[in-house]
Amino acid sequence: MRLEILVKKSSKKKIGRIFRYEIHEIETGRTFVWTISEILEEINRDRSEEWVDYDESDWLEGWDEWCEGEYFKLGRIIIE
């Protein structure tokens, strides 16, 4: 998977950067900008009680396994 990274020059501060992810919904063609929390919510939703949630350390693995190519396509990473 190839990701394009966009860095916004809105601030000179390097602490507290916000990462957002461009998400393309395959069925509708719509594009969204999601935070990591929204991505994790999508990956972990509607799972059984035995499910162990993906988190910020392994979300990309979960995204590739459960979302990428079937329902969504991950686009650019936007760093603010």
What pTM, to 2 d.p., does this model score? 0.80
Residue type, 8: K
pLDDT value at residue 79: 87
- pLDDT means over runs of 10, the chain (80 residues): 49 68 96 96 95 94 93 91
Q: Are 61 and 70 in contact (CB under 8 A)?
A: no
Half-sphere exposure for 7 (CA within 13 Å, toward CB): 6
